A and B are shown apart, each in its own frame.
Chain A
Amino acid sequence: MIGPAHYLGVSALLFGLGLYGVLTRRNAVAILMGIELMLNAANINFVAFTKFVDPTFVRGHVAALIVITLAACEAVVGLALVINAYRHLETVNVDQVNLMKG
């Protein structure tokens, strides 16, 4: 029987992958993809909790939907920043974007 632990396990692994991407990638867009993976991991948790813990008001679904929406917002703003940075600095590698460093 597939229980909550299975889903949370997948979620934990996906979270780990996402975090690894965020921590090691140089390209801003790739970091963003890592963040998306982490958000998805969180969403799996929300939806799994809804089914296995508290299904009555589908609160987890609501949370997941809000996270999806905010992920879209974050992607839009983040990518706008990336494009702007690329236009000015001709790189999207975060360790090379260091105009503020004295």
Chain B
Amino acid sequence: MAQLAWLVPLFPLASYAVLAFRGRALGERAPYVAIGAMALSALLGWGAFLEQVAGAPPYVWRAVWAVGGERTLTVGYTVDPLSSITVAMITLVGGLIFVYSVGYMRGDPYYARFFAFLSLFCAGMLTMVLANSFLLMLIGWEIIGLCSYLLIGFYFRRRSANMAQMKAFLTTRVGDTLMLVGIMALFWQFGTVDYHAIFEAVREGGESASAVVRLGGWEVPLATLSALLVFGGPVGKSGQFPLHVWLPDAMEGPTPVSALIHAATMVAAGVYLVGRAYPLFFYTPHHEALAVVAWVGTLTALLAALMALAQDDIKRVLAYSTISQLGFMMAGLGVLGYAAGLFHLLTHAFFKALLFLAAGSVIHAVGTNNIKEMGGLRRFLPVTFWTFLAGFLALAGVFPFAGFWSKDEILLEAYHHAPAVYALLSATAFLTALYMSRLVAYTFFGTYRGPAHPEPDPWTPEDYARAGLHAPHHGHGTPHESPRVMTGPLVALAVGSLVVGFVGIPGTGPEGGSWIHHFLKFEGFKEAGIHAPSFSWPLALRSLGVALAGIAVAWLVYGLRAVPSERIRAWVGPVYPFLRNRMYIDALYGWVFVRGGLLLAAGLRWFDVHVVDGLVNLVGGVTVVTSRLHRLFDTYVVDGLVNLVGWVTRGLGLLLRPLQTGRAYNYILVAAAGLGLIVLVSLWRL
């Protein structure tokens, strides 16, 4: 199976090719192609995963792509526990989201295009996960960036979608550029882009690994610098502070996209990369790079959770929650919780995809994103409600849902390795329970308020006409449950959100540890004498208590309305608008970068018009004067020479013309004579 793993990204790629070229003709049948390809990938991916579970050794295949001097660029793929479990997760969650999309996107005039983009995304994501070198990883990375851009702007007639897609692309580009520089630095330092070779080099700490660069008087180890530069990519892609601003806006895309790309997989790519390149971070002096990762993660988790409290758009709340959880993962990886962070990545993919899809089901039913305009939906949408509840409990970290086990792992690691991080993450966990309870209370409890401003249809009648469809008429009466094809994946993911966490139960692995700890283990810990802290009940109960406290507070405020939220808002004063406006970070970026950019452009234009053009005109004037003088010289001296050359050439041509007969046998004769001459010369030298 591992030998066939290279096929895994190719099936979605083939599906993309088919849909891109024949999509229009396929019409309603387009999803079958995409889902079929995904099923084949899932089959192979799970085969490889189960092989790894059964204890197969990691499989690496590499081929030389290009050779330049002494350095070679290799490409290839690797199947080991980390990549195989991630592939298994992507194919499973992705497949379910594909199925869901069949219902969600039905009647869309660009149905096939949507599945084409999703397929391409999966191809890129799987390539990125299976890659065994930074080079191939970068290729997959850029493909998923492109797909994210395309899918955020899927409703391309909406101006807000256009803005959002540009924002996402440009923001992540900042991180990607840093990462590219980092990869170049690694290539320069180690002469290869192969993961294995680089990690071995940093582990052994040889000459090339301990190179140092001077940055304004500071001596920085080059490896640390490269690691931090590479970390720039994950910061951008995984929405870490300060590049998190694009992710909430990315919710302009269709909801399955939000679920697949902006919750389950793409944003997890950054976390995955940190996990994949863990040796790079780990083997820096005093684990400096890991500390940076930990603090960026913690800060992101806390800030995003705070911002989530004040949002009204159901998908934006979930988006901030995603950012917060990604921060959790980064923090987990940063505090030496290698397995913990990646475990949270896996569980989060399930319950966050579930939450998004359920939110999509809600939006589908009521026609708005604003939670203030919902309410009481648990009666109308029973399946959606119960599955959403499962996702909510998992996210809040309530026993025995998946989130409990993975979040607890991270808190445990933080408690042992970085108490300050532990305190902040606990606060975040409390906030998480709080804002999610708020969301549930507004959406599913209380009375149905009905949308004041229904979302406008993203397409024009022409779009529908071109696709041969009828524009749907929007007359939302009472909300209605979504079709089977949408609720089916919800139920499957809800079950997943419950059971995936069980691999983290202590005692399921050897030596009283959990299975996931055994499966995803980082060899460097053992060498460095770092032991994973063992599960402790007091800590687990404490984190459970924090979560339940959050839920209880929310219940008081939003459910029972014992303390009305308006009063709290008045009480906290300017804090609420501060949070609601995303801590003014977006506005700041708008001022500094967008306005700054415009100002810079204006300044440059002024410089152009007045300074550069003036110079050019001056040069022009001087040239005109000199050229007058030249002309005299030209007419009499130069032309005379040119004509002379012309006559000579013509004469020679007339002389040589008979040689150019146009008859091949003449030429062959000359060639044969030349051959004889060459033989003669070489004979002479023999």
Bound: A22/B664 CA distance, A: 10
Is B665 an interface residue, CB under 8 A from the partner?
yes
B677 to chain A, nearest CB (A): 15
B499 at the interface (CB under 8 A from A): no
Whether A100 contacts B662 in the complex (CB less than 8 A), given A19-B672, A23-B669, A23-B672, comes out as: yes
Binary per-residue interface labels of chain B (642-677) against chain A in the complex, 1 for a CB within 8 Å, 0 otherwise: 000000000000000000001111001100100000
| Assembled-state Cα–Cα distance A19/B664 (Å) | 13
In the assembled complex, how far is the CB of residue B661 from the closest CB belonging to chain A, in whole angstroms? 9
Residue of B nearest to A16 (CB): B672
Residues of B contacting A100 in the complex (Cβ-Cβ under 8 angstroms): 662
Name the CB-closest residue of B to A25: B665
Residues of chain A within 8 A (CB-CB) of B664 are 94
A23 and B668: CB pair below 8 A?
Answer: yes
Q: How far is the CA of A22 from the CA of B668 in the complex (A)?
A: 8
| Chain B residues, Cβ within 8 Å of A23 | 665, 668-669, 672
Indicate if A87 sits at the interface (CB-CB under 8 A): no
- Report chain A residues within 8 Å CB of B668: 19, 22-23
Determine the chain A residues whose CB is within 8 A of the CB of B665 once the complex forms. 22-24, 31, 94-95
In the complex, per-residue mask of A64-102: 1 if CB is within 8 Å of any chain B CB, else 0: 000000000000000000000000000000110010110
Closest to B663 in A: A95
Bound-complex Cα distance A59 to B84 (A): 45
Per-position 1/0 for A5-45, Cβ under 8 A of B: 00000000000000100111000000100000000000000
Of B662, B669, B672, the contact of A101 (CB 8 Å cutoff) = B662
Complex: how many Å from CA A100 to CA B672?
Answer: 25
Q: Which residue of A lies closest to B669 (CB)?
A: A23
Q: What residues on A are CB-neighbors of B663 within 8 Å?
A: 94-95
Docked pose: A100 CA to B662 CA in angstroms: 9
Note all chain A residues with C-beta closer than 8 A to B672: 19, 23
Residues of the A chain whose Cβ atoms lie less than 8 Å from the Cβ of B662: 98, 100-101
* Contact mask for chain B residues 43-63; partner A; CB cutoff 8 A; 1 contact, 0 none: 000000000000000000000
Q: Digit string of A46-61 for contact with B (CB within 8 Å is 1, else 0)?
A: 0000000000000000
CA distance A94 to B662 in the complex (A): 10
Expressed in whole angstroms, the Cα–Cα distance for A101 and B663 within the complex equals 10
Which residue, of B665, B668, B669, has the highest number of chain A Cβ atoms within 10 A?
A: B665
Residue of B nearest to A102 (CB): B662
Docked pose: A47 CA to B664 CA in angstroms: 30
Q: For residue B664, which residue of chain A has the nearest CB? A: A94
Q: In the complex, how many angstroms separate the beta carbon of A61 from the nearest chain B beta carbon?
A: 26
Q: How far is the CB of B664 from chain A (nearest CB, A)?
A: 7
User: A31 to chain B: which residues have CB within 8 Å?
Assistant: 665
Sample 18 A-B pairs with CB under 8 A, ordered by A number. Answer: A19-B668, A19-B672, A22-B665, A22-B668, A23-B665, A23-B668, A23-B669, A23-B672, A24-B665, A31-B665, A94-B663, A94-B664, A94-B665, A95-B663, A95-B665, A98-B662, A100-B662, A101-B662
Q: Which 6 pairs, one residue from A and one from B, show the smallest C-beta to C-beta distance?
A: A101-B662, A23-B669, A23-B665, A95-B663, A19-B672, A23-B668
